[in-house]
Amino acid sequence: MPEKWSGDGTYYLPARQVAPYRLWFEFLKLAHDDPEISVDYDHYADWGPFWDMTFNEWWSGVRWRELFAIDAGVRVLEEGENIQSDEHALIVRLPLSKDPRETMKDVQELLEQHNAGVKFDAVTQGKFALSEGYEKGFLKYLNRVNLMSRVYRMWLKNADEGKKGQLDRTALEFYQWAKTRDDMIRERKYDLPRPLFPYAARELAESIINNEPDAIGENRRQFLRYVHKARKLAQNAAVGVFPGKY
């Protein structure tokens, strides 16, 4: 599923792309894996067993429509379909006996009277909505949030290493992953984005590799900020808010 895909022509994602919802899913799974975070599973009952699924498995079918999407399609209502007031749609009767050109003029006037084309840009909700203001900061730094999710996943996996060991092992693993991927993209000239490689991650890993104890302490503090921000995102997701403040 392309990250910039925004819908199927009838249902649309308010964020106009898949990436923010994928990150919500990933951070909720990370919250599930973190023994110090309590997840509100009742709130997420409609998400199903997300902790046992890949994002593609979970996203497929109608789940994305039911959880996040806005119904913005034009269609004939089925007989017996429940008609309810909806601030994002008009229920109208179109006479089949009238000249279609006149009917289209009437429809155009109705749409203009109800500010059509304005409300959709202001929509921030499906059944599950990204937190208010997400488009002003969060969407601009998705690559950094992706980085934090990867670091946090590695950090949780190294929980048995002890406090400093956990962080050092995470930095080394991330360093190796980022360096290997970056070298592969450059050497094979792949048309892929190169991995974000923060200075703090590089410096901590290299100071450990080169056994430079004077540099390790400060670099640990810098690198730990990524873990703290990632954990805050997971804590937000755990209680039904994403991204929230982090």
Look at the chain and report how many structural domains it folds into. 1
What is the rounded distance in angstroms from the CA atom of residue 163 to the CA atom of residue 135? 35
Within a domain: 110: no
Q: Give CA separation, 78 vs 11, 72, 82, 105, 141, in Å.
A: 17, 16, 9, 25, 42
Is the Cα dihedral 212, 213, 219, 225 positive or negative? positive
Beta-bridge partners for 70 = 12
Residue by residue, pLDDT tens for the chain (246 residues) are 556 777 767 788 888 899 999 999 999 999 999 999 999 999 999 999 999 999 999 998 889 999 998 876 565 666 666 665 556 666 777 787 878 887 778 677 766 666 666 454 455 466 899 998 898 889 999 999 999 999 999 999 999 999 899 999 999 999 999 999 999 999 999 999 999 999 989 999 999 999 888 888 888 998 999 999 999 999 999 999 999 999
Range of the domain at 215: 11-67+128-238
What would the pLDDT profile of 43-55 be if each residue is shown by its tens digit? 999 999 999 999 9
Within a domain: 136: yes
Measured N-to-C along each axis, helices 142-157 and 163-188 cross at an angle, to the nearest 10 degrees, of: 130
Within a domain: 142: yes
Length of the chain: 246
Within a domain: 139: yes
Give the global pTM.
0.80
What would the pLDDT profile of 191-218 be if each residue is shown by its tens digit? 999 999 999 899 999 999 998 888 888 8
What is the rounded distance in angstroms from the CA atom of residue 97 to the CA atom of residue 111? 21
Within a domain: 229: yes
Which residues are within 8 A (CB) of 229 and not within 5 positions of it... i.e. 6 or more apart?
A: 148, 246
Within a domain: 107: no
What is the rounded distance in angstroms from the CA atom of residue 186 to the CA atom of residue 189? 5
